Amino acid sequence: MRKSQQVKKKRIRKHLEQVNLFAAGIDVGSQSHFVAVPEELDNESVREFSSFTGDINRMADWLVEIGIQTVAMESTGIYWIPAYEILEERGLVVLLVNARHIKNVPGRKTDVVDCQWIQQLHTYGLLEGAFRPPEETVALRTYMRQRETLTQQSSDQIRRMQKALRQMNLLLDNVVSDIDGVTGMKIIRAIIEGERDSTVLAKFRDGRCKKSEKEIAASLEGHYREEHLFSLKQTVELYDIYQQKIAACDNAIQTQLERMESKGDKRDLPPSKKAKMKSSPKFDVRGELYRMTGVDLTQIDGLNENSVLKVLSETGASVSAWPTEKHFASWLGLSPGNKITGGKILSSKTKPSASRAAAAFRMAAFGLLNSNSALGAYCRRQRMRLGAPKAITATAHKLARTFYSMIKNGAEYVDKGQDYYEQQYHDRIVKGLKKRAAEMGFDLVSKVASSDVESMA
């Protein structure tokens, strides 16, 4: 009893220790930033600075002058970015903290109290900084996000082209797979230039087009109106502008990729078995990705050079920020939740996530639903058990773990095929049934084996 009481007393004496003695907390805003520092370092321990660059520089000068070593700030919109970058350039350790992790006591909500609360939590080492990739990856991420925006806006123009054509009953989308393809754009540009003869327009058909000239000509007998032609012309002009901007963005992405550290020689990369996507940048994306990571991540079923480039632009070419593949999957928001109380599981839903990398893995998993690979078989099996949404999340989780393992270990991806997965699943089921039968005092005998015994008898 005495020994247990002593242990209990020791536990009671434990208290929070001040880990970061020279820590500051910043409540970030659109117009001004409130900064709190330890009272021992300055008589005016809370100050307000405008969000102008000059005032942020003065804020950084003050923090460095009084000896602050680390700063924590809330990730509020995009307002934190200038302050984060300027403070980091001054040599301070800056933590970007999730707003959910620093909620204050209800009813006490002011900018001054918020920055003091952040500073207090950071002093006791209770805050963890969000992941922010290296500067070269941040630059690549910016280019990739800009390209994604331009691609979406370009797709909007394609839909507007199709609308203008439909309003004139030009059913081009019925005879070509993509109206922005070779055949479609030649016909649209000829219409804008004044050609109205459907037979002449049909002669722009590309040799790879599945429909005949006669079918195309029949679909192009429309009811032309001036206002719809005007809309079509302006939409095509905007589409061309977006294509030019996407090409410029691709050049910037290629230049940025060439600046990044090399881990492999792209000359050692064998030819790809996957076709290059139409929306891919025009340069050798797969070769640059191999040079960055030293492994061919496009071998993973479901992933192509576009999706791999998107993920690497968010995570970087190294996965050292995550100790294990479980940490990586959890950061992506692809791991099951563990909301448990009283030994009862209340929910196992994945946490909400706006991660673009996670979205890329989910899209890759969706594309595996009809695949003959082992991952495709896994996805279909999970769909039968859990439904399509949860099956896609589970498959995306497996893709993320494979992605992590290949980068960390430098391993190659080997697909053992759908048949191998089905056989493994069959063996697991049989093993479980045999174990259950043995527990109940029975022997499980296969139908083939029992028929052989009967024939011998």
Q: Which of 87, 95, 97, 19 is nearest to 59 (CA)?
A: 87
Q: Which of 298, 352, 355 is nearest to 133 (CA)?
A: 355
Predicted confidence at residue 279, as pLDDT, reads 85
Predicted confidence at residue 275, as pLDDT, reads 79
The Cα 182–Cα 91 span in angstroms is 53
pTM of the model: 0.83
Question: Are the CB atoms for 306 and 316 separated by under 8 Å?
Answer: no
The Cα 336–Cα 390 span in angstroms is 10
Tokens at 251, concatenated: 């050049």
Residue numbers in the chain where pLDDT is lower than 50? 1-13, 453
Predicted confidence at residue 22, as pLDDT, reads 93
Instruction: Give the model confidence (pLDDT) of 243-296 as tens digits.
Output: 999 999 999 999 999 999 988 888 888 888 787 888 889 899 999 999 999 999
Predicted confidence at residue 441, as pLDDT, reads 84
CA angle 416, 417, 418 (to 5 degrees): 140
Instruction: Give the model confidence (pLDDT) of 184-218 as tens digits.
Output: 999 999 999 999 999 999 999 888 888 898 999 99
Instruction: Give the model confidence (pLDDT) of 385-421 as tens digits.
Output: 999 999 999 999 999 999 999 999 888 887 777 777 7
Question: Tokens 């393992």 — which residue?
Answer: 405
Question: Tokens 């590309």 — which residue?
Answer: 206
Predicted confidence at residue 104, as pLDDT, reads 62
